[in-house]
Chains A and B, each alone.
Chain A
Amino acid sequence: MNSLRLPKITFWRVVLVIVLAAGGYSVVYRLIYGLGAATHLSDGFPWGLWIGFDVLTGVGLAAGGFTLAAVVHIFHMKKYMPIVRSSILTAFLGYLIVGVAITLDIGQPWRIWHPIIMHNPHSVMFEVAWCVMLYTTVLALEFAPIVLERFGWNRLAHAFHVAMVPIVILGVILSTLHQSSLGTLYLIVPEKLYPLWYSPLLPVFFFVSAIGVGLAMVIFESGLSSRAFGHHFEMPILAGIARALVVVLAVFAVLRVDDLFRRDVIRYLFVPRQETYLFFLEFLVGILLPMGLLAVRRIRENPRLLLFSATLVVLGFVLNRLNVSITGMVASSRAAYVPSWMEIAVTLAMVGGGFALFALAVRYLPIIPTEARIRSSHVLQSQKHATPAVPATAG
């Protein structure tokens, strides 16, 4: 530990400080003067950037956690073990941020706990609230062994490892439910959401695209952290993830097009208006282009192009969620909506804070595998199965 050393001033750190300061100011302003003063929301447009990006998009971007946990702990694809931790970290941070965002977005933040004792099983929001609460707990349990290991409490960490399979199964169920339910939220507005996005299949679309973006985020964050921290980019593993991503994107694309035909709304693709362009941008640049790129082995196995393609998927996903929650709702609403600078500042602070916490966690916790840890985890695995009674002693 090199304590008492002042952090170096770099470009990104300066940006981070500015973003966090602006966001912090906006949060305080919102808490004192209320949503009406801090945001451009109105009776005609009650849900804006904080719901559309911070919540809907945030939850999706954190989907790598349950996907990777399932791949490794349930499907036993141990090859992906080295990246489970960073995806669980992303998910845990993501859900914490989403929790903060929801709390800020509701008019009575101190009543955030109300759904615990006030029930309405007919409400999608009620179900989402419960799933998010429970899943954040699950993520804390999945994250706990990492912290315990850091402090050398290996006996306790091992207890968590033993309980991990049921925890992961619970996490996958909860994630399946609320990832899809965020789409179900919009089933109640068939006459408000633009036909290119409104579909009875919204829950399915939200679920499939969450898996896709979860995988893309795993690549994205590995790429960024390998650049930032000089770890080596886990290429063969990530190329495998990319291959799975191609399949998920293909399934999504087929479902989406099939749905447009089934609902007989293909004609909307030829109407020259903003929604049409946004749809094409989302579908061509966010789905088909990265799918095509990643289908090519040379591109998949090139770190730079792999990162580029994953970034396209992430951006396409963000655009999709914003289209469902904001741009697809504008036409039917009584009010125009452009987020206020404070809404944008809080959103940027959430993103910046997420990056910063991720960087801190990677620095101080055993997240990114070192050669030694990979070896010891293999030893741990075989030890565990050979003599289950012996507590793991991996450093």
Chain B
Amino acid sequence: MSKALLIDVTKCIGCGLCYEACKESHGFPIPDEQDTDLNATTYTVVQERGEYFVRKLCMHCENPSCASVCPVAALRKTPEGPVSYDPTRCIGCRYCMVACPFEVPRYEWTKAAPLVRKCDMCYERVRAGEATACAEACPEEATVFGERDELLALARRRIRNNPDDYADHIYGEHEVGGTSTLFITPVDYEKLGMKKIAITEPMPRLTWEVLSKIPSIVTVLGTLLTGIWWITNRREEVRRKEQGERSHDHPSGEVSHE
């Protein structure tokens, strides 16, 4: 079964403990001034949106664009849920950054040989059966770690029991075919600066629809081109033969070329 995170914006008090726990568990120094956006050493931030606090982190799509576009399969949707990253495969092409609908992956721009960086949903911990560092650090249960199905049920329950406190939408249930990071929000999520995603189909389908036709293109085009060559070559042979016969009639042996 696949793990997920549920973030309840109504419960978040903006303490930033998730941010610090994340930095700590990934071995990044904690700066004096809290980061305001993701970067190569910040996999999650808590952003202030009016009276609310909204976390930003990788959405861990069920069918991730980043993993589908990666030419060397450095990014991968693991069966456990996290979208993991193998820095030893990455060539640094940044197609994942272009493709990510949530604009999450970051690059080590200050390094001579940069790699991609993003939240890995504490893949090592999750594999060991533990919760993510952020979920463990949250004092308000604003970030909860668990099975995706169960978290969706929990989210629905919270919305149903307190319809006045929540917008009736689970962000990540259907966006780009579903994600493993889920949000429930007190107001319409767009008002909280979260990205509007109209597409409910997995994005990799868009490219796969074309890529899957390649074997047919190769065989059909190969046959067609060979066929054309065969016909035009035969025509050329016939023409040459006729010319040869004609030149036999002329003892001078002159062949005219157009």
Contact = CB atoms under 8 A, between A and B. Distances in A.
Given A124-B207, A382-B255, A115 B199 contact: no
B71 interface: yes
Interface in B182-233: 197-199, 203-204, 206-208, 210-211, 214, 217-218, 221-222, 225-226, 228-229, 232-233
A125 B229 contact: no
Contact of B95 (A122, A185, A192, A378): A185
B257 A127 contact: no
B237 interface: yes
B225 A177 contact: no
Interface residues of A, number: 62
B90 A108 contact: yes
Chain B CB within 10 Å, residue with most, of A42, A70, A105, A106: A106
B240 interface: yes
A124 B211 contact: yes
A334 B103 contact: yes
Interface in A352-387: 378, 382, 385-386
Given A125-B95, A189-B98, A169 B225 contact: yes
B232 A75 contact: yes
A232 interface: no
A349 to B, nearest CB: 21
Contacts of A23: none
B110 interface: yes
B95 A184 contact: no
A34 interface: yes
A42 B103 CA distance: 12
B131 interface: no
Contacts of A169: 222, 225-226, 229
Contacts of A44: 103
A350 to B, nearest CB: 18
B199 A190 contact: yes
B149 interface: no
Interface stretch (B47-55, B112-120, B136-144, B155-163): B112-120
A203 interface: yes
Nearest to B117: A43
B73 A118 contact: yes
A169 B111 CA distance: 43
Contacts of A128: 71
Interface in B97-126: 97-99, 101, 103, 106-115
A123 B68 contact: yes
Nearest to A78: B236
A35 interface: yes
Contacts of A107: 90-94, 107-108, 113-115
Interface in A169-199: 169, 172-173, 176-177, 180-181, 184-185, 187-192
Contacts of A125: 69-71, 93, 95
A46 B92 contact: no
A115 B72 contact: yes
A122 B203 CA distance: 12
A187 B111 CA distance: 30
B78 interface: no
B39 interface: yes
B197 A191 contact: yes
A165 B231 CA distance: 13
A36 B225 contact: no
A172 to B, nearest CB: 6
Interface string B70-94: 1111100000000000000111111
A108 B228 contact: no
- The 7 closest A-B CB pairs, nearest first, are A107-B92, A36-B109, A76-B232, A125-B71, A118-B72, A126-B71, A34-B112
Given A42-B109, A189-B99, 16 more contacts: A43-B107, A46-B107, A76-B232, A106-B91, A111-B72, A114-B72, A118-B74, A123-B95, A125-B71, A127-B214, A173-B222, A184-B207, A187-B206, A190-B206, A192-B98, A382-B255
Interface of B: 38-39, 65, 68-74, 89-95, 97-99, 101, 103, 106-115, 197-199, 203-204, 206-208, 210-211, 214, 217-218, 221-222, 225-226, 228-229, 232-233, 235-237, 240, 244, 255, 257-258
Interface of A: 31-36, 41-44, 46-47, 70, 73-76, 78-79, 105-108, 111-112, 114-115, 118-129, 165, 169, 172-173, 176-177, 180-181, 184-185, 187-192, 200, 203, 334, 378, 382, 385-386
18 contacts: A35-B107, A47-B98, A76-B233, A76-B235, A76-B236, A107-B90, A111-B92, A114-B71, A120-B73, A122-B207, A122-B208, A123-B73, A125-B69, A125-B93, A165-B229, A172-B225, A191-B199, A192-B98
